[in-house]
């Protein structure tokens, strides 16, 4: 079959799916301005979320994933999300779900310490009852999410591969591989994966890449690069259509200021960049989308992207989503989407345009 015939067959198959009312991608539902620049998650994609310590990388990731689950449930799509959380506990994800549910149901703004009951005094009985009323919200997420803590990236790859084996079929030419040991032992040989449910998407999250341990005989750089380039991009992405999402740290502020980016102001040097990833910069070559999270207030900025008094938002903190790379290549202009990070409900909310005074008013104190 020719390349064109393969392409034609693929788009006709997606057309059949769309005619049935089932989307072929997962849009950034709560981020319309981001969706204008990047349509959403596409099967087989690798996505990088990066930023400095405390900017909200994991929170933004959770916000995207909760948004993804809501969209899939509304549009007849099955989604399985496997999160390898190497820096936060399963309880943190539960509390994240609770904080969103408590705000939506009761308008309650809380924090991790209150909801996890780390205190010197007993929890308020009314809050405890309201938490109980959010049980179904948490259970609804658990239907789609598995949280693991696997320090070795190859171990996480095998965990995702086993999930695929349990929910589909692997073939080496025309022969179906009947055991997981066959699949694992022939990673370089099998050439087709068929999911039991063609409308199911799988998302594998590594939070964070920097926390992976080095494999035997390899440096951490080599370990992360091999995981990104071979196991994630080639095997899980190109052959199994798994969407991979990486969270990765940026290098320190001082290192970025001292880096010789000619023609850049100091504030521009402090923004996230592909050249300032901490553990393995080469990961940027393998991803189809890279987003950096930037906090200009941290560096004394009170005006940014046409927004004023950004240090005075009500209940939230200004953040800019910097689109560093898309499928079309590195982005250098018109590449920022302003948001507010609500840490009390573990969500990111896209801001209206700065001249939309009516809708902007509600974001200020």
131-168 per-position pLDDT tens digit: 999 999 889 888 999 999 999 999 999 999 999 999 99
Please compute the mean of the pLDDT values over residues 303-314 and round it to a whole number: 92
* pLDDT tens-place string over residues 204-258: 999 999 999 998 899 988 999 899 989 999 999 999 999 999 999 998 765 665 5
Token pair for 216 = 């035997």
Q: How far is CA 355 from CA 1, 277, 351, in A?
A: 54, 34, 11
Give the chain's mean pLDDT.
Answer: 90
pLDDT at 262 over 60: no
- Please give the Cα distance from 202 to 189 (Å, whole number): 22
**Which CA distances in Å does 16 have to 12, 105, 244?**
6, 38, 25
pLDDT in tens, 94-140: 998 899 999 999 999 888 999 999 999 999 999 999 999 999 988 98
Q: Is the pLDDT of residue 365 over 90?
A: no
| pLDDT exceeds cutoff 70 at 320 | yes
Question: Is residue 264 over pLDDT 70?
Answer: no
| Predicted TM-score (pTM) of this structure | 0.93
């Amino acid at each position: 079959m020719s390349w064109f015939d393969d392409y034609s067959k693929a788009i006709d198959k997606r057309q059949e799916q769309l005619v049935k009312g089932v989307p072929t991608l997962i849009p950034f539902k709560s981020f319309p301005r981001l969706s204008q620049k990047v349509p959403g998650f596409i099967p087989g994609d690798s996505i990088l979320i990066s930023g400095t310590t405390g900017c909200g990388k994991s929170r933004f990731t959770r916000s995207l994933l909760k948004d993804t689950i809501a969209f899939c449930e509304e549009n007849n799509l099955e989604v399985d999300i496997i999160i390898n959380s190497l820096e936060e506990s399963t309880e943190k994800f539960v509390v994240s779900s609770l904080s969103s549910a408590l705000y939506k149901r009761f308008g309650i703004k809380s924090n991790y310490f209150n909801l996890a009951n780390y205190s010197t005094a007993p929890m308020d009985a009314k809050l405890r009852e309201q938490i109980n009323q959010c049980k179904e919200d948490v259970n609804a997420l658990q239907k789609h999410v598995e949280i693991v803590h696997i320090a070795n990236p190859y171990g996480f790859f095998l965990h995702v591969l086993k999930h695929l084996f349990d929910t589909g079929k692997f073939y080496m030419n025309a022969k179906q591989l009947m055991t997981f040991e066959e699949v694992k032992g022939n990673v370089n040989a099998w050439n087709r994966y068929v999911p039991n449910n063609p409308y199911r998407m799988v998302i594998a999250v590594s939070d964070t890449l920097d926390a992976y341990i080095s494999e035997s005989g390899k440096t951490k750089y080599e370990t992360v690069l091999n995981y990104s380039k071979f196991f994630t991009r080639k095997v899980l992405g190109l052959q199994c259509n798994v969407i991979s999402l990486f969270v990765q740290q940026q290098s320190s502020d001082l290192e970025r200021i001292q880096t010789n980016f000619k023609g850049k102001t100091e504030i521009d040097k402090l923004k996230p960049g592909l050249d300032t990833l901490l553990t393995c910069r080469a990961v940027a070559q393998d991803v189809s989308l890279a987003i950096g999270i930037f906090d200009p207030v941290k560096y004394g900025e009170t005006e940014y992207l046409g927004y004023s008094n950004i240090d005075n938002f009500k209940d939230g903190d200004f953040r800019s989503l910097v689109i560093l790379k898309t499928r079309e290549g590195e982005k250098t202009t018109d590449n920022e989407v302003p948001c507010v990070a609500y840490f009390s409900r573990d969500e990111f909310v896209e801001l209206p345009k700065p001249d939309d005074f009516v809708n902007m008013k509600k974001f200020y104190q």
